[in-house]
Structure 1
Amino acid sequence: MIRGVRGAITVEQNEEQTILQATEQLVKEMIILNDIQAENVASAFVSVTDDITAAFPAKVIRLQEGWSYVPVMCMKEMDVPFSLEKCIRVMFHVNTDVSQKEIKHVYLEKAIQLRPDLKKLK
Structure 2
Amino acid sequence: MKNIKNQHKDLMDLLDQVPGVKEHMEKFEVQMAQQILERRIELGLTQAQLVRIIQQQGERITQATISKVESGDSAVGADTYNKILHALGGAAHIEIEFGELPKSAQLALAYA
Decide: shared fold, TM above 0.5. no
Q: Which has the higher strand share?
A: 1
TM-score, scaled relative to structure 2: 0.30
TM-score, scaled relative to structure 1: 0.29
Q: Which has the higher helix share?
A: 2
